[in-house]
Amino acid sequence: MSAQDLTKLLNSPTPEEIALVEKAYAFAEQAHKDHKRLSGEPYFIHLFETAKTLAEMGMSGTTVSAGLLHDCIEDVGVTPETVEKEFGKEILFLVQGVTKLGTVKYHDSTIHRESMRRLFVAMSQDIRVLIIKLADRLHNMKTLSFVPAHKQKRIAEETLEIYTPLAYRLGMRKLSREFEDLAFVYTMPEEYKKIKEILGKKGKENIERLQKFYKSVKKAVATEGIVCRTDYRVKSLYSLYKKIQRRKGDIASIYDIIAMRIIVKDNADCYRVLGIIHGIWRPLPGRIKDYIAFPKPNGYSSLHTTVFTGDGSIVEIQIKTEDMYADSEFGITSHIAYKGGLSKKSLNTNFAWVKKLLPQKTHNDATSKDVPDWVKQFINYKSNNDDLIDDLKSDFLRERIFVFTPKGDVIDLPVDSSTIDFAFSVHSDIGFSMSGAKVNGKISALDTKLKNGDIVEIITKPKGKPTAKWIDLCKTTIAQRHIRAFLNIRKK
Ligand code: MN
């Protein structure tokens, strides 16, 4: 373990960046010298692992340094002034952001809600604070066995309930899979054991057979002069558990327990590789998906196919470029520039809302008009309003769909949202004057449930006015609150 283990992971770092991480490393090691974790290990290991996760995600020297320093104010009494003097305002802001998120008291639901609120406020101010918190949580989950037993389940539940969907929504699929597997064993030990048994048997055979298959695929691709690397991901035990439940126990029909990835240089090579594979192995009908020509509404791009390997197994293959791969595994973190936190590439539609949460020139831009309503509500939230936290939590973390305005702007809504939800998400004035809606060009009822990718046009009339019935027709709290407020005013 050395500072170099971190700096070598940085993405084309400047000499200043390397020096910064080295300085933070030495500072944190010294500050936490006499500090131990529950496991008895030096506390510094936790800081190193958090920083390493951040570096592996491609975060900048600034964020990695903040990862090393994230517990020094709270746990060993380093003053904010010292952090600012040694490391500057930006790092102090990040460290304080993480510190303010605080320790969550798992037994108290009010404090739990308060932590949720802090999480969202932090995220709205600077998304990097949340990313550090996620990296911190990952190491805490990896070392959960040292935590007193009565706390383990609550911590694991919170990870599944809050941090996992949050990571997933930020496109950090690799992290969300890790969270799921680390938490599953504590939240449902019986189920975990069962799934592990099933997978253990099936998984071992699978991996051995697949390794042979991978070799043949690589060879076939290389013969055609295409450079590629391969990788595979094993479905998390938790998502496998959920899928087996959905399929009522039919594990034989689940082909993506292990998915092979072939990563190539560009789009053209993706299609060439697909052609080569289909020329040799027979694809399963109906499972060829071209998410390059038709990306998923959340921005996911890749070619998918499922083939018979010839030795009795069936395997899913995903073909993508390095960029597509980074997007699908690391999400938002693959978009954050290593300098200054601005967007490296154009953020895809999935993260349009997050772009507004990236660091601005000042850190209190969160009330500007670009910020989504739900963020403003959080910022203006008064601590006695617990409902709002629950509502926003469920709106935000529930499964989402992405629908479009006629101009092609993306509106991000919870599953089962109606055209009324859409109208109020675009603008409250549009909601208040709504008289009807067209979905994909067709006049549709107000309670039409929207689907991913729908194009929605709201028809407005000066006299169009919400009625009490509308409240039942919408799913989002924002729409419901606007309508209730409107009806109350009218009553008066
Ligand atoms: Mn920590």
Between the alpha carbon of residue 194 and those of residues 144, 201, 216, 249, the distances in Å are 21, 11, 33, 12
- Centre of ligand 1 from the C-alpha of residue 478, in Å: 34
Pairing of strands 456-460, 400-404: unpaired
Residue 171: predicted pLDDT: 77
Which residues of the chain register pLDDT less than 50?
Answer: 104-108, 337-353, 355-394
- Centre of ligand 1 from the C-alpha of residue 136, in Å: 5
Quote the CA–CA distance of 426 and 64 in Å, as a whole number: 37
Residue 388: predicted pLDDT: 43
Q: What is the pLDDT of residues 87-109, one digit of tens each?
A: 999 899 899 888 877 654 444 45
Whether 60 and 17 have beta carbons less than 8 Å apart is answered as yes
- Centre of ligand 1 from the C-alpha of residue 157, in Å: 18
Closest CA to 439 of 430, 429, 448: 448
- Centre of ligand 1 from the C-alpha of residue 484, in Å: 42
Q: What is the pLDDT of residues 267-318, one digit of tens each?
A: 999 999 999 999 999 998 888 999 888 877 667 889 999 998 887 778 899 9
Quote the CA–CA distance of 459 and 470 in Å, as a whole number: 16
Quote the CA–CA distance of 394 and 432 in Å, as a whole number: 24
- Centre of ligand 1 from the C-alpha of residue 147, in Å: 14
- Centre of ligand 1 from the C-alpha of residue 389, in Å: 24
Residue 111: predicted pLDDT: 53
Instruction: Give residue 393's Cα distance to chain centre.
Output: 15
- DSSP class of residue 162 equals I
Quote the CA–CA distance of 446 and 483 in Å, as a whole number: 14
- Centre of ligand 1 from the C-alpha of residue 53, in Å: 13
Residue 116: predicted pLDDT: 58
Residues with a catalytic annotation lie at 74-75
Residue 465: predicted pLDDT: 85
